[in-house]
Amino acid sequence: MSKAVPEPQQDGDEELNKAIEELKGVLHEDAPGAEAGASGDNRDLVMSIPVEVQIVLGSAEMPVSQLMALKKGSTVSLNRRIGEPVEIVVNGRRIARGEITLVDDDPSRFGVKLTEIAGTAGGA
């Protein structure tokens, strides 16, 4: 007998969804009889978990010869402009969209203004 093995992505999504549901249970632990400080302690524990946040600002296509010619100080033009949408990804899952913007108090820096946060039902 052979078991059907789920595809790695589906298995990973299933594990992630299960972990999210468990975290929701911990964060919304309002059961009668629970210690007053326990819920706060759990939130602090969960909120201190590090996650990897990625914001892909753009990409560029170039021949290998041009790539090999890059050196310190070279500029690579990306396919996105200020104001165009970007995706915000946490631990490999899209959680929001935003747009590239200049930081108000420092025009030499840019940031991402969130324009959409993925919903819990059917999002990402």
Averaged pLDDT for residues 50-79: 91
Q: CA-to-CA distance for 91 and 13, rounded, in angstroms?
A: 11
Q: Are 41 and 80 within one domain?
A: no
Contact 97, 116 (CB under 8 A): yes
Confirm whether pTM is higher than 0.75: no
- Split at pLDDT 50, 70, 90, the class of 1 is very low
- At residue 102, the 3 state secondary structure works out as strand
Say how many domains are in the chain: 2
Answer whether residue 89 shows pLDDT above 80: yes
Q: Are residues 19 and 37 in the same domain?
A: yes
Assess whether pLDDT exceeds 50 at residue 71: yes
Sheet holding 85-90, edge to edge: 53-55, 85-90, 93-103, 106-117
pLDDT in tens, 91-110: 888 889 999 888 888 888 88
Instruction: Print the domain residue range for 122.
Output: 51-124
Q: Cβ distance 76 to 63 under 8 Å?
A: no
Rg (CA), the chain: 21
71 and 21 in a common domain: no
Task: Give tens-digit pLDDT for 5-36.
Answer: 444 445 556 666 666 766 666 555 544 444 54
Residues 84 and 116 in one domain: yes
Residues 83 and 118 in one domain: yes
Q: How confident is the model at residue 120 (pLDDT cuts 50, 70, 90)?
A: very low
> CB within 8 A of 75, min separation 6: which ones?
none
